[in-house]
A and B are shown apart, each in its own frame.
Chain A
């Protein structure tokens, strides 16, 4: 029983991180209809940026968290203005290919500059070691990541559902024509939303740096799990991304505990099942499918 609770805790803490990492993907798809394949590369950029800030300017984890997020926001804005914008009117496949191309370029640029091996990054002071609760125990840093992720997810959800800005953004995406007719400048919101999604990827990258290998390829495998998360949750659904993030975290933890070598396969079995039963995902709108 203790083992069972232990695995559940571990699954939930991994799940929180998955939820945050997938959130940006969901926001960008929800608002722009763009499947952003470069999300993994932006996550990698975030992590690499954190190590570079530490290396060159001596800025630690707590400084990197807001700074990198801001930098990645600017990067996202530029990406949207210079590239993504021009393909928005075309078939979504074009932007899928564009962002895939951006991934290849970013990964190779990082390889060129920083090599292929992992870069060092330590756990921030005060978050080392683990917390013991009787016979249960959890890594302190993992717990922090998990709680922090849930808070960010909540904040984003509130922003999009409870504020005026969120309302405008949602209206613009639900029905761009009618919103325009009501005097809303729809185009104005597209760029910041894209930047926001990329910033979330960068934020996830900074959080990953202390407990994952930081290298140019770190996003390449991760993006596949994230796609599973958003497909399970329903493309574009923020609540879906969060719930599916936790679900995938749990499946992975129990997979690792009871079906070791199949732990990753199980995630995709779950995805296949969900798509079979609900093609739009758990929280997706059927019409979007």
Chain B
């Protein structure tokens, strides 16, 4: 009796699997090699807090664009026929990110997690990726630890990191004669990391850091910090504040009458920051951008598609999410399966040129994705020709100089 029921159940299961395989793949394709019959992309980022605008829900639109492009390119030959996006809000908290990542991998059967701004949250997700042996491509977080001491086989770092921001901005500004710096940084993991990277890059270029001032985080009154930073009469004041703190800093910097007198360099800035506050406040500020929508026709065409769906221009994080999702699907296509180890093999060492990555390479040694980045300058009001036309690209920083070589700390 019992044997019989097991047999019936087994037949039923096999039958439904067969059906699923046929329905999903068709006889000519490798559809059966896709786990659970579909590829699930998990988007885990800030859906309600400070990083919502720069990535947030609009990154889902970008990932959907990648899925559409993949399907259009391969049509009937696509290995992944059924592709789904799941998304969750991690509120920039590592503990929530950790739980959500587990849920995505286990319950939602996500084959990959994308984005995850906030370094501490990204590190938590990288650990989950390692434990579950599933992919994670980071776009939103900047910590070099992801490709250093905390690197692992399943984690990739796509868009930018603190070393690249420092190498770009610091060396460019030093080259232009900004030799003496005061650095003001928020006293937590990201700020400390940025302070170290910037100091190293400034000194390497022959500049000097006169003082490094640590501020509480978050903080809304910077008046005396700015006076103190100015007291050593530096050529450049570099701020590592981000989000609302950056706005506080810049407003008070300008009110201290320093705009146009002492050069302001911003460690990490997104186009959404400039757009929300207006070019007046930031005019002339230099920073490193991983991607700019109005850089060339290719970027612009993609940005037009994005704008048609969202009514805003994309940040580099949006374009980064698109590029990461598309290249993941391409890797699935090349591997003929969504098995993580096979997909990783396809990605490692891959050279990529797409709308986001120029001269891009997925470094096999540490999974850092290096590519050309840009030194940008905020336009003045009379230079702005249309909405979101906010940046002037001063120069392209080639991938080789933009990124630090693989750190010895990374053991795959």
Binding site for B on A (CB under 8 A): 3, 6-7, 10-11, 13-14, 111, 115-120, 122-123, 128-130, 137, 139-142, 210-213, 215, 217-218, 221-222, 252-254, 256-257, 260-265
B221-A14 in contact (CB<8A): yes
A122 to B272, CA, bound (A): 18
Does B220 lie within 8 Å of A221, measured CB to CB? Answer: yes
Task: Tell me whether B209 is interfacial, beta carbon within 8 Å.
Answer: no
The one of A10, A115, A119 in contact with B223, judged by C-beta atoms closer than 8 angstroms, is A10
Q: Which residues of B contact A118 (CB under 8 A)?
A: 244, 247, 276-277
The total number of A-B Cβ pairs within 8 Å is 108
Interface residues of B (CB under 8 A from A): 48-50, 52-53, 187, 213-216, 218-225, 227-228, 231, 244-245, 247-248, 251-252, 254-257, 272-273, 276-278, 280-281
Question: Taking CB as reference atom, which chain B residue is nearest A140?
Answer: B255
- On whether the beta carbons of A137 and B220 are closer than 8 Å, the reply is no
Residues B251 and A210 in contact, CB atoms below 8 Å apart: yes
Residue of A nearest to B218 (CB): A221
Would B252 and A211 count as touching, CB distance under 8 A?
A: yes
| Contact of A141 with B255 at beta-carbon distance under 8 Å, contacts A218-B220, A218-B244 already known | yes
Residue in B closest to A119 when the chains form the complex, CB atoms: B276
The reply to whether A211 and B251 form a contact with Cβ atoms under 8 Å apart is: yes
| A252 and B48 within 8 A (CB) | no
- The residue of chain A having its C-beta at the shortest distance from the C-beta of B280 within the complex is A122
Q: Could you tell me the distance between the alpha carbons of A11 and B215 in the complex, rounded to whole angstroms?
A: 16
Say whether A117 contacts B245, CB under 8 Å.
no
Whether B255 and A261, one on each chain, are in contact in the complex, defined by CB atoms closer than 8 angstroms, is no
Other-chain contact of B244, A140, A142, A215 (Cβ < 8 Å):
A215
How many angstroms from the CA of A116 to the CA of B117 in the assembled complex?
A: 15
List residues of chain B with CB within 8 A of the CB of A262. 216
- A129 touching B245, Cβ below 8 Å: no
Instruction: Pull 17 A–B residue pairs with CB atoms less than 8 Å apart, ordered by A.
Output: A3-B231, A116-B52, A117-B273, A119-B276, A123-B254, A128-B255, A129-B257, A141-B255, A211-B252, A213-B220, A213-B245, A252-B224, A256-B222, A257-B224, A261-B214, A261-B216, A265-B216
Q: How distant is the Cα of A123 from the Cα of B250 in the complex, in angstroms?
A: 13
Which of A139, A252, A254 contacts B257, CB < 8 Å? A139
Q: Which 5 residue pairs across A and B have the least CB separation, nearest first?
A: A213-B247, A256-B224, A261-B214, A130-B257, A264-B216
